Amino acid sequence: MRITGGDARGLPLKVPSNANVRPTTDMVRGAIFSMLASMTGEWSPRVCDLFAGSGALGIEALSRGAEWVDFVDQNPRCCGIIKQNLTTTGFHENAHVYCSGVNKAISFLDGRYDLIFLDPPYADKTIFDIITQISMSNFIKNGTVMVIPHTIRLMVEDSYNGLQLVKQKKHGDTCISIFCQEAGV
């Protein structure tokens, strides 16, 4: 797996060798950032990468100009790999890794994010509860964008407490759903 764009384009990323971790493929990451580029002009967001795994989504955001990324994953092995990937790509000073469950992190992280990646395991049916919890948390501000790669068999709602579905695209078995606090993005 490699960074697909920006300053660190082409650099390899380590991936946890764990059956419970499903890294977002290069093709899907490329599609996500293409969709985001078509929605935004100037881009230097504050990002939160939930269920970070290898950190590929957040590191890709850093490579493409993100100001800061908070990574959250409950698996200590994944947290170690994210730190290694941040060092390899040179972005370790623009990020923090929290080895914590997502529900707990939502309760203690106090930043309002411009961009949130929510990439839980595909079979995780608690995704709807997590989206609702985020939509009511201090993570959200006007203009916050939340990107959710998920299986095409999982149907997301059009709205969660003010977060509106603004874009959706399918890539094989993956569907990319993009929500925004303002529907006018």
Q: Write out pLDDT tens, residues 130-152.
A: 988 888 888 888 888 999 998 88
Q: Are 44 and 75 in contact (CB under 8 A)?
A: no
* CB burial of residue 185 (10 Å; 0-12, 13-18, 19+): middle
pLDDT band at 41; cut points 50, 70, 90: low
Please measure the distance between the N-terminal and C-terminal CA atoms of the chain and give it in whole angstroms.
31
Q: Write out pLDDT tens, residues 19-29.
A: 466 677 778 88
Closest C-alpha to 135, from 90, 127, 58: 127
Instruction: Report pLDDT for 183.
Output: 45
Q: Are 185 and 163 in contact (CB under 8 A)?
A: no
User: pTM for the full model?
Assistant: 0.90
Instruction: Report pLDDT for 39.
Output: 78
Per-residue pLDDT for 47 more than 90?
yes
Q: CA 136 → CA 77, 139, 151, 161, distances in Å?
A: 30, 8, 24, 7
Per-residue pLDDT for 49 more than 90?
yes
For 21, other C-beta atoms within 10 Å of its C-beta total: 18
pLDDT band at 171; cut points 50, 70, 90: confident
pLDDT band at 105; cut points 50, 70, 90: very high
pLDDT band at 85; cut points 50, 70, 90: very high
Domains contained in the chain, CATH given = 26-180 (3.40.50.150)
Q: What percentage of the chain reaches a pLDDT higher than 70?
A: 92
* CB burial of residue 88 (10 Å; 0-12, 13-18, 19+): middle
